A and B are shown apart, each in its own frame.
Chain A
Amino acid sequence: MGMRRYIAKRVAHALVVIYIVATIVFFAVRAIPGDPARVLLGGDASAEAIAALREEMGLTEPLYVQYIRWMGRILQGDLGTSVFSDQSVLQMLIGVAEPTLSIAGLGMLIALLIAIPAGITSAVKQYQWEDYVATTVSFIGISMPGFWIGIVLLIIFADRLGWVPAFGYVSFRQGIIPWLKHIILPALAVGLPYGGILMRMTRSSMMEVLNEDYMRTARAKGLDGRLIVFKHGLQNALIPIVTVAGILLGVLLGGVVAVEIVFGIQGLGRLLIASIQRRDFPAIQGAVILISFVFVFMNLLVDVLYTSINPQIKYGGSE
């Protein structure tokens, strides 16, 4: 199967997954106790007023009718309107997705840029000082939750040193430098735990590869050490890491939610939590769909990458 067909098939597959997630969320939000009309009108609203609002929101209709209507709208690209702010959910999501994706993206970049070289160095210089430094740092990264790293960074770099602002978010449209200054600490906070795990994985994967017979062959050919590591070893070592990096993406996205709260950033995570508290059904559904969308497509990307670095796997085949 060619790469095009493989990707087309995987996209179709991804859409099915998103559809299933959306359906589950639709019913799940309606299963949790509490209803949006009551939350919106406050505790002392009259029963008639609540009933009228429920009617207006379409919540009195049978569940399946609500579901079909909602599906119909989604297929037209309409995620509905927030019951809380009367804003279109799509508009709200676009507003909050940017800070969240900025933090997650930069966090991932930092993690990869630190973890892979550190892991390789660690494996090659096993039991020397480079290895001890790298494994200790990664251990610290793994053992501290992201929001805690965030608080520590906040105290040091924003509060004490004043190098970067402590709170809020500035869009990159207002300048790359201010944007970076606002997201660097949150990105480090989500990136370090992720990078710590990746570094450990890279180290063990590379160590395994260094013991492979084909590495001995490469040495017997008279190639020099760095060439052997980077030409003969690296790609083999990355094969298992790419898979793990994809799975760990979920961990990273989860970390962003807590970190947004620490840094007072209006992101997807905060929107989701606030919407759940308000029983803002359309907003919850929209946010979850967006998250599953990002997750599913990042994993698709990882799979394509995996297939392209491992010649033993054919597109779509599982040899």
Chain B
Amino acid sequence: MSSQPRPTQRAGPSVSTTVTEEPPLLAVDNLHTTFTTERGDVPAVDGVSFAINEGEVFGIVGESGSGKSVTALSLLGLADGATVTADRLCFRDEDLLAKDEAALREIRGNDISMIFQDPMSSLNPVMTVGEQIAEVVRHHGDVGESQSLFAELRRKYVTGTSESSASWQRAVELLDTVGIPDPADRANEYPHQLSGGMKQRVMIAQALAGDPDLIIADEPTTALDVTIEAQILNELLDLRDEFGVSIMLITHDLAVVRETCDRVAVMYAGEMMETADTRTLFEDPRHPYTRGLIDSIPRTDDDREWLDAIEGNVPDPTAKPQGCPFRTRCDAAFSLCEEPLVAYSAEEPGHRTWCHLYNDAVANDGDEVQRVDDAEAKQLIQEHEASDDLVTPQRPNFGGEYR
């Protein structure tokens, strides 16, 4: 270590606080991802904000259709046919929205990698698992093997990948790291020769191959059975400890969140509902939706689908109600809920709730809401919104990546 003191403050125009925290690894502020369809614009992600710190496991939890997967794809420019905007979308202080396709390719796999839900369909059936990992190692670029189109096609169709090449060796090592027995033999196998859990381990090895800072795991265990699920989640946590990689874990399962995540964001209909550290969220949930979710986590002797506990359905994204999207299902809904949501901070640092019950002008003792002064409350909402009113840069549309 150098003996020089660390600079206590990062250079930058917007640093005005005296707090000298590390900036987050990933900062997302007011993210909007809108798909244009024949039936009209679909706001799949509608004003999402969160931050992920180094070495953290951050959970995003929500029902299917809540926009959690689209959020992940939007980060990497992989949301095809969508328009992505945000006040801020920064990875290590680099603006992801300002990057063109070529620059994003450098980020993908290298700095941020992804693990998808279904390992059966997410691995290429005609390539050996070794090669699928080795190509990421080459893409990462520190083994000095050519990854030109010609070289890659020759490897694929003519010579195969040499087992003595550094990239292949590294692939075997990675298979070993993620707990696959006989990695040297397994590397030569095709995905259909492996079990579901093994395939997901291959996906993890592949995600690690570029030595990323952030792994986005999109429902990584949903397609697997329960015993394998626990193994895979433990594997991910071990890797976090070993490599210091941050993990963004997308899931519909609060029980998974409780077991694995440091902090968590709850999403509903493309919007944020609540974010807090995991412990706070479970001990002191403030949002009615979060409370409903926690109440409905099944006990081990209970087979019910946990979502049954909340009445009603997720709103149709093309016809979302004005204001809070949850108000069609919310027992606590009141007059202010037709106003657009804003974040209300709780005492616990980092605990924010997007629910008008926590407007200062609303007397709220937890169960009873008394409308004290609607006009004053609306005023507060507007002030809140104005403070967030930044310029929104437009992201180029990357629909059709193969050109």
Contact = CB atoms under 8 A, between A and B. Distances in A.
Do A and B belong to a common assembly? yes
> Which 6 pairs show the lowest CB-CB distances between chains A and B?
A222-B109, A222-B108, A213-B121, A221-B109, A220-B114, A214-B124
Given A213-B116, A225-B402, A312-B125, A220 B109 contact: yes
10 contacts: A217-B114, A217-B124, A217-B206, A219-B78, A224-B105, A225-B401, A230-B153, A231-B152, A231-B156, A232-B127
Given A212-B121, A216-B122, A226-B149, 11 more contacts: A124-B403, A214-B125, A216-B116, A221-B210, A222-B104, A222-B108, A226-B402, A230-B149, A232-B124, A235-B156, A311-B190
A259 interface: no
B124 A236 contact: yes
Nearest to A228: B402
A60 interface: no
A213 B115 CA distance: 11
A307 to B, nearest CB: 12
Interface residues on A, range: 20 to 34
Interface string B387-402: 0000000000000111
Contacts of B113: 220-221
Given A216-B78, A222-B105, A231 B121 contact: no
Interface of A: 124-126, 210, 212-214, 216-232, 235-236, 239, 309-312
A309 B126 contact: yes
A210 B403 CA distance: 12
B107 interface: yes
A216 B401 CA distance: 10
A309 B400 CA distance: 27
Contacts of B78: 216, 219-220
Contacts of B122: 213-214, 216-217
Contacts of A125: 403
B118 A236 contact: no
Contacts of B76: 220
Contact of B126 (A222, A229, A235): A235
Listed residue (B107, B123, B124, B206) with the most chain A CB atoms within 10 angstroms of its CB: B124
Contacts of B135: 221, 223, 231
A312 B157 CA distance: 17
A125 B403 CA distance: 7
Give the interface SS of chain A, mostly helix, strand, loop or mixed: helix
B238 interface: no
B108 A124 contact: no
Contacts of B167: none
Contacts of A212: 121
A116 to B, nearest CB: 14
B110 interface: yes
Interface of B: 76, 78, 102, 104-110, 113-114, 116, 118, 121-127, 135-136, 139, 149, 152-153, 156-157, 190, 192, 203, 206, 210, 400-403
A219 B118 CA distance: 16
Contacts of A216: 78, 116, 122
Contacts of B153: 230-231
Contacts of B107: 222
B114 to A, nearest CB: 4
Contacts of B192: 311-312
A226 B110 CA distance: 19
A223 B153 CA distance: 13
A186 B379 CA distance: 82
A239 B149 CA distance: 22
The listed residue with most B CB atoms (<10 A of its CB), out of A218, A221, A225, is A221
A123 B220 CA distance: 30
Contacts of B401: 219, 225, 228
Contacts of A309: 126
A241 B185 CA distance: 31
Contacts of A218: 124
B258 to A, nearest CB: 27
Contacts of B190: 311-312
Given A220-B108, A220-B114, A222-B109, A227 B123 contact: no
A284 to B, nearest CB: 44
B403 A225 contact: yes
Contacts of A310: 126
B108 A311 contact: no
Contacts of B106: 222
B123 A217 contact: yes
A227 B135 CA distance: 11
Contacts of A217: 114, 116, 122-124, 203, 206
Nearest to B104: A222
Contacts of A224: 102, 105, 149
Contacts of A230: 149, 153
A1 B102 CA distance: 46
A132 to B, nearest CB: 16
A125 B399 CA distance: 12
A6 B190 CA distance: 21
A175 to B, nearest CB: 33
Contacts of A235: 126, 156-157
Contacts of A124: 402-403
